[in-house]
Amino acid sequence: MDRIFFLILYGVVISIASNIFLRVIREILIELDLFPKQKTRDLHSLPVPSLLGLGFSFLLVLSTFFFNEIYAELINYWSFVISFVIINSLGIIDDLKALSSYKKLILQFLAIFVLLNYNDNLVIDNLNFFLGITGIPYPFNLIFTGFIGIIMINGLNIIDGIDGFAAIVSIACFSLFGAVFFMIDNEAILILAIAYVAIIIGYVPINVSKTKKGFMGDSGSLFLGFGLYVFTLLFIQSDYSVFLNDFIPTQSLLPLVPLVIFFIPILDILSIYSYRISIGKNPLIADNFHIHHMLIWFTGLSHLSVSILTALFTVTLSLAFLMLSSYLIPQYTIATYFIFLFLLVRLLNMYKPIMRSRIGDSHGNIEDVES
């Protein structure tokens, strides 16, 4: 009971500190007139401080520094911190002066290199018969682990398009990872998950505010994506014994856990890129046909409502697949995931032309739709 009380108090204190600290950063950004250049697809008409994510690394180090010794057996703490600072710095630079995709990829790979170079235990070299794959030999294990990192780092950035969406979906993702690490009795990573959730909770009121709004920017979304990547690697190399006995019937289903938790970014990536390619557009040119834009357009709900419902969907989907794994053989459970993903991608892409015909070209302003 004392342990649970401590964890709750720890989370509450960090949330309050995060909210105060990020509000201070917002005021400093306004005083320094540091506003990113307005983009044609932005949903706000007036400049908004968009560098609040620069405070995330500081808050994470502050909230985990005194626990760094308990991470010793799992991860090299300072390589962990340095890799996050690299990602955070990349986002800050990109927010202030848009970087090319090539330069962003180089810095993302640098952060991944720092993390994996000092934590070779995090390299994915075995998928436990997931999709029939067992051992992954060198150097393909490094390439595969790095590729997963690029997808996850940018996944959160891709869905950061409306107020609260990336933040609230991230809260659901980190909470689910926290629940998993609680079930396998990994207190060190549970504390890290609570720190993440608390930092984001402190940010959300600022992000959804009508009068004193602030955005995390790429510095925040890339930071959160990298965090989910680290949690995925930590989960894959954790002690599964409790989780297997009580929740998941076989090791071959374990890689499905992060895939289900990260379902929304995966869905949006597959949907948006496949649609752009299908209409002959450059898949790297941004537009307003992401899943969050579509949900707002078709439902008429507010940004906050769409964000909360999507987070609840993430939690519900995770619980559904947890239950499903108890009734179906592993191959059928895995097949169900990919069939469900494929059907949703097809459904989204089927309705994108309807939305496009109503709001104009691929850079249409979603505010016109909302009004």
pTM for the whole structure? 0.90
Band of residue 61 on the pLDDT scale cut at 50, 70, 90: confident
Where is mean pLDDT largest: 191-205, 327-341, 346-360?
A: 191-205
**pLDDT higher for 162 or 370?**
162
Q: Which of 270, 268, 272, 289 is nearest to 221 (CA)?
A: 268
Band of residue 367 on the pLDDT scale cut at 50, 70, 90: very low
How far apart (Å, rounded) are the C-alpha atoms in residues 346 and 328? 25
- Residue 136 to residues 101, 126, 146, 151, Cα–Cα distance (Å): 28, 6, 13, 19
Q: Which of 223, 198, 222, 203 is nearest to 163 (CA)?
A: 203
How far apart (Å, rounded) are the C-alpha atoms in residues 126 and 139? 13
How far apart (Å, rounded) are the C-alpha atoms in residues 215 and 218? 9
Q: What is the DSSP string of 180-242?
A: HHHHTT-HHHHHHHHHHHHHHHHHHHHHT-SSS----HHHHHHHHHHHHHHHHHHHHTS--HH
Mean pLDDT, rounded, of the chain: 86
Q: Which of 207, 211, 313 is nearest to 265 (CA)?
A: 313
- At which residue do the structure tokens 């997808």 appear? 151
pLDDT over 50 at 370, yes or no = no
- Model confidence over 231-279: pLDDT tens digits? 999 888 776 655 665 666 677 778 889 999 999 999 999 999 999 999 8
Range in 21-35, 93-107, 127-141 the model is least confident about: 127-141
pLDDT of residue 363: 45
Q: At what angle do helices 217-236 and 54-64 cross, to 10 degrees?
A: 40
| Pairing between β-strand 133-135 and β-strand 126-130 as defined by DSSP bridges | antiparallel
Where is mean pLDDT largest: 123-132, 162-171, 276-285, 359-368?
A: 162-171
pLDDT over 60 at 366, yes or no = no
Band of residue 365 on the pLDDT scale cut at 50, 70, 90: very low
How far apart (Å, rounded) are the C-alpha atoms in residues 293 and 271? 13
pLDDT of residue 371: 26
Contact, 348 vs 276, CB < 8 A? no
pLDDT of residue 123: 92
Other CB atoms within 10 Å distance of the CB of residue 166:
28
pLDDT of residue 240: 65
